[in-house]
Amino acid sequence: MTKWINTNWLGLILLMSVFAIAMARLSIRKVEVADPNLEIIRFAHYQLYEGMEDAFESLIEDYEKLHPGVKIIQMRIPRKVAPMWVNTQLIGGTAPDLIELPHISQGLTYEQLMRYFLPLSGWVDSANPYNRATDLENIPWRETFIDNLENRPAFYSRLMDYYGIPLVMSIERVFYNKRLLETITGRVDLPLDFREFMEVCDLVRDYASENEKAIFPLASSKESARTFLLSLFSSQTQKLTFEVYDFGILKASSHSFMLANLRGEWNAHQPAVASGLKLMREAAFRMQPGFSQFSDDDALFLFAQKRALMFRAKSENYLGIKSQIAFPLGIARMPYPSPDDPEFGPFVVGQPSEAHLIRTDIAIGVTRFSLHPQRAVDFLQFLTSKTVHSKFSQLSKRLPVIRNTPFDKELEPFYPVTEGYLFGASFVADAETRAFLEENLYLLGNRKVPPDTFQKVMAKEYSTRARKNLEKFNLNRFNSIIQTDLTIGARLVLDHAADSRHKDTSFELNRSVEIQNEMERQAYFLQSELDRLEKADNS
């Protein structure tokens, strides 16, 4: 039988048509010629969400009005392709002036940061000029941020420098079903007291059991359970952190806490640690069974289906959660045991400050390809100045990252309470100890296993994992030291030459030498302690 159409010809015709269309499009394509008098700043980000693009557009308009010779071009990059896109642009040397930094976990490397992005320490230590006539005037730009820019994605401790300017703040909150809460407990709002909070959870459990309904107090994913349970644990180590060796800086460091474990200064049976583990277990019982296998979306689904009273999620998920539920939504801070709590109080200094829980996000880096780095930084200063940032927050419905910035009333429940005391140290820091927790997380939420099972596993295995964690951490630190060595060498040469063509290198040289020496001391100290402990173990 003869075919009524020849498919080879059809393919060829299709190919020719596509080629012709492509040629036509290419020939009519207009190349925008840049005005040589304009300073053009290209700004790439992945915030293709409701409110964000409009917020950027509006502020760009304001900035261009203020600086008529400047044009800011917004480049919207789909999130899924972002890391690959950034990589290509950086390697190809075609990166825009400003790029939203992908997270280290998304493939951005320290080497890329050093090589392709400008360190911002020179700018962040000076005041933001756009804060004139506000209460943030004359305050170093760094200190106008809610976290003093102390964390990633702004500050990279391995590189000891600032590479990103964040635009939003993120914090976890307990979202709850107000109607369900009232039905079960008669309460309108979730209590702020830890004991009362646990009682509410128990009421939910009783209600579910009496009515034979599968309703859980708290819907949780593996990720949110980990951060939540660890914050509870850290509420119990507030005192212990300062009792064990903490390098005398009054700041909880998981690494020094791990070293203290190896030195025998605490173990799983230490009362504060045992109390922390018990608290974690108590909280894990209030989550749905198998929570360690749940993704964020799975947990949200449970909450949206009214099968959980509460759901713990990040503030940036607020609009998404709101759009998926059909009941009045309550938002509350997670309560922690107070010093007068009869069971968990003895290990607590005071209500922990949420400063420790704040995460900053949407950090913008200035690439080394920028022809106008000063202008690019100026635009970032504009975006993060108090007045402008307030407008950004209102338009984008995101929490402001700048202190004392007025924001939308709707966001009020998300604003972190930074008064209070630091959380204690956690026993989890990097991949190795995180894996230890994740491998054993199921033991905490399982009523069938004896209550001290996690504790026993910790007593048996934790020190080995902590040692591995510290060894890897120190190896990375030595690699960073090696990387900074050449830069310091170049600075020594440039500084010696006192070349007028080059900017004053003395400050940067002295600062980088100071930081490198400090990193080296810490690395050598840790190494000497690990060696000593290993020798002691072997003998």
- Which residues contribute to the site for another protein (CB under 8 A)? 114-115, 125, 140, 142-143, 148, 150, 155, 160, 247-251, 350, 353, 355-356, 368, 403, 418-422, 478, 481-483, 485-487, 489-494, 496-499, 501-502, 505, 507, 510-511, 513-515, 517-518, 520-521, 524-525, 527-529, 531-532, 535
For residue 129, what are its two tokens?
């000029």
| Smaller CB separation from another protein, 49 or 415 | 415
DSSP-assigned states of every residue in 288-328 = PTTGGG--HHHHHHHHHTTSEEEEEEEGGGHHHHHHH--S-
| Smaller CB separation from another protein, 239 or 307 | 239
The bridge status of strand 308-314 relative to strand 216-219 is parallel
CB 134 within 8 A of CB 386: yes
Q: Which helix (H) or strand (E) holds 100?
A: strand 98-100
Closest approach of another protein to the CB of residue 373, in Å: 12
> CA of 293: how far to CAs of 214, 311, 356, 395, in Å?
18, 16, 26, 36
Q: How many C-beta atoms lie closer than 10 Å to residue 353's C-beta?
A: 16
Strand-pair partners of 220:
none
CA dist., res. 60 & res. 77, Å (int): 17
CA dist., res. 399 & res. 150, Å (int): 18
Closest approach of another protein to the CB of residue 498, in Å: 6
Round to the nearest angstrom and report the end-to-end CA distance of the chain: 89
Closest approach of another protein to the CB of residue 122, in Å: 12
CA-wise closest residue to 252 among 222, 224, 230: 230
Closest approach of another protein to the CB of residue 388, in Å: 20
CA dist., res. 100 & res. 171, Å (int): 20
Closest approach of another protein to the CB of residue 45, in Å: 24
| Smaller CB separation from another protein, 217 or 337 | 337
Rounded to 10 deg, the angle between the 222-236 and 296-304 helix axes is: 90
Backbone angles phi, psi at 162, to 5 degrees: -95, 130
Closest approach of another protein to the CB of residue 144, in Å: 9
CB 120 within 8 A of CB 160: no
For residue 46, what are its two tokens?
């992945």
Closest approach of another protein to the CB of residue 242, in Å: 9
| Smaller CB separation from another protein, 431 or 490 | 490
Closest approach of another protein to the CB of residue 159, in Å: 10
Q: Which helix (H) or strand (E) holds 399?
A: none
Q: How deeply is 227 buried, as exposed, middle or buried, from its count of CB atoms within 10 A (0-12, 13-18, 19+)?
A: middle
| Smaller CB separation from another protein, 216 or 347 | 347
| Smaller CB separation from another protein, 456 or 496 | 496
For residue 212, what are its two tokens?
């034979």
CB 303 within 8 A of CB 175: yes
Closest approach of another protein to the CB of residue 510, in Å: 5
| Smaller CB separation from another protein, 87 or 487 | 487
| Smaller CB separation from another protein, 195 or 263 | 263
| Smaller CB separation from another protein, 236 or 480 | 480
| Smaller CB separation from another protein, 122 or 413 | 122
| Helix residue ranges per DSSP H, 49-189 | 52-66, 82-92, 110-116, 121-124, 178-185
CB 490 within 8 A of CB 480: no
Closest approach of another protein to the CB of residue 450, in Å: 38
Q: How deeply is 222 buried, as exposed, middle or buried, from its count of CB atoms within 10 A (0-12, 13-18, 19+)?
A: middle
Which amino acid, 522? Answer: Q
DSSP-assigned states of every residue in 163-201 = --EEEEEE-EEEEEEHHHHHHHHS-SS--SSHHHHHHHH
Residues 6+ apart with CB under 8 A from 406: 390
| Smaller CB separation from another protein, 127 or 481 | 481
Closest approach of another protein to the CB of residue 205, in Å: 36
| Smaller CB separation from another protein, 442 or 478 | 478
Closest approach of another protein to the CB of residue 108, in Å: 15
| Smaller CB separation from another protein, 63 or 155 | 155
Closest approach of another protein to the CB of residue 328, in Å: 35
